[in-house]
Chain A
Amino acid sequence: MDKLGLIGKPSDWLISSRYDATILREKLHIDIVDIPIEEVTSLGEVDGGEEGALVIYNRLREIVERYQLSGLTLRCFDLLTTVKNTGCLALAKLNAEGIPAACEGDVPTLITMMLANRLTGCPGFQCNPARVNTETGQMLWAHCTIPYTMVDKFNYDTHFESGFGVAIHGELPTGDYTLVKVSGDLSRVFAEDVQLIRNQYEPNLCRTQVWLQTKQVIPYLLSNPISNHHVLVRGHHAQAFIESIK
C-alpha cells in the first residue's frame, strides 16, 4: 500500500477535483493521509530566494520520512502568506528524486503522477492549459514547477501569481509525450499521445511553458474536461494509462 500525503486541504479553486479514498485504496492500493498545513507553515518566514526554498524542501523531506510517504500534494499557495516563499523548488526536487509531488493539494493530479511513475518509472509535469489553436491543434501548457529530470536546462524566476519566491522556467526536449489525467474516483481517464514541439517564455503565465501538437485534447478540454490540471509524461503511453485503471 502506497501512502500519499495531502498536506493542507485541496486549494479552494479545485472545485471539480474531488477524490474517493475507498476506490483509490481498493483499485490502486493507495491511502491518502491528511497532514496539517501547519507542519510546513510552522517554519515561519524564510529567505525569499533559493535558500528559503530549500528550507521548504527539507521540511517536506522530513514529512515524507515521518509519515513514510510515497508521494504528496501540498496546498502550496498557503505558503505565500506565511512562509513567504513557494513550494515550486521543493516539488521539482522531490519529483526528480522519484517522489511524486503535486501542487495545490490536488489529489487526482497526484494520483495521475503516481500512475505515471508506476507505469513509466518517470516523473510527470503537472500543468495548466493556457492557450489553444483550434485550427492547428496546438496547445500551450504551463506551470511554475517541473521535475528537474524532465528539463534540458532551467533558470529560476519568481512565482507567477505572487510575483515573488522561487519558480522554475524549464525547457523540455521536443519529441514524444503523453498528456494524461485520471479523475479522483477513477471513473474517467483521458490520455493522448502528443508531440512537444517548442518551449516559450512569456510573462503573465506560469513559468515553464510548452507547446504541444495534439489531436483530441482541444475538443475534450473545451467540452468535457476532467479538470484543469493534467500531467505530461515523456514517451507515448496513452494506451497503458487507459488500461491501468480498467
Chain B
Amino acid sequence: MLITLSSSLHKEELALPFELEQSFIDANQVVAVLTGGSEGLFLQQVEAGAITLDRPIYLLASEQSNSLAACCEILSWINQHNGHGQIRTHR
C-alpha cells in the first residue's frame, strides 16, 4: 500500500522521491511524505483506518520541500503512540 501526502502550503512541483519495488509496497504500509505540513494529513489517514499502528510504517522522504522534516515529526508521533516505523531516504 502506498499513500502519498502533500500539503497545500507548497506550490512547487512535487514527485515521488524514489521508486520502490512493487512487492515491497504490496507487503507494507508505505507513506510518501512529499512536503512539510503533511503531518495532519497523516493523522487523518490513521483516524480513517487507512494506516494502522499495528504494523510497521515506512515513511519516504525526498530532498526537497521539507519532506524529511515532516517525516521526523510523523515518526516521532508514531513512536509516542507505541507504533513502529522508519524513514527511508533512498531505495
Chain A bound to chain B: yes
Q: Which A residues form the contact surface with B (CB < 8 A)?
A: 12-17, 77, 128-132, 134, 140, 161-163, 204-206, 221-229
Contacts of A130 in B (CB 8 A): 63, 66, 68-69
Q: A15-B43, A131-B68 are in contact. Are A161 and B36 (CB under 8 A)?
A: yes
CB interface residues, B 3-42, toward A, < 8 Å: 7, 9-12, 36-40, 42
Chain B minimum-CB-distance residue to A129: B68
Shortest distance in angstroms between B13's beta carbon and chain A's nearest beta carbon? 9
Contacts of B66 in A (CB 8 A): 128, 130, 161, 205-206
Contacts of B10 in A (CB 8 A): 161
Interface residues of B, count at CB 8 A: 32
Contacts of A131 in B (CB 8 A): 63, 68, 89
- The answer, among B11, B40, B72, for a CB contact under 8 Å with A163, is B11
Contacts of A134 in B (CB 8 A): 89-90
| A-B residue pairs, 4 tightest by C-beta | A16-B76, A128-B69, A228-B73, A13-B39
Interchain CB contact under 8 A, B73 and A17: yes
Interchain CB contact under 8 A, B39 and A132: no
Give the dominant DSSP class at A's interface. loop
Chain B minimum-CB-distance residue to A183: B76
B70 interfacial by beta-carbon distance below 8 Å: yes
Interchain CB contact under 8 A, B72 and A227: yes
> A14-B39, A205-B65 are known contacts; what are 8 more A-B pairs with Cβ within 8 Å?
A13-B36, A15-B40, A128-B36, A131-B89, A161-B10, A206-B66, A222-B75, A225-B76
Whole-angstrom CA separation of A236 from B81 in the bound complex: 33
Interchain CB contact under 8 A, B65 and A204: yes
Contacts of B68 in A (CB 8 A): 128-132, 221
CB interface residues, B 37-91, toward A, < 8 Å: 37-40, 42-43, 63-66, 68-70, 72-77, 79-80, 86-90
- The answer, among B12, B69, B88, for a CB contact under 8 Å with A129, is B69
Query: Can you sample 23 A-B contacts with CB below 8 Å?
Result: A13-B7, A13-B40, A15-B40, A15-B74, A15-B77, A16-B80, A77-B9, A129-B68, A129-B69, A130-B63, A131-B63, A131-B68, A134-B90, A161-B9, A205-B64, A205-B65, A205-B66, A206-B66, A224-B75, A226-B76, A227-B76, A228-B72, A229-B69
- The answer, among A12, A204, A223, for a CB contact under 8 Å with B40, is A12
- The answer, among B11, B72, B79, B80, for a CB contact under 8 Å with A221, is B72
Contacts of A162 in B (CB 8 A): 9
Shortest distance in angstroms between B38's beta carbon and chain A's nearest beta carbon? 7
Contacts of A77 in B (CB 8 A): 9
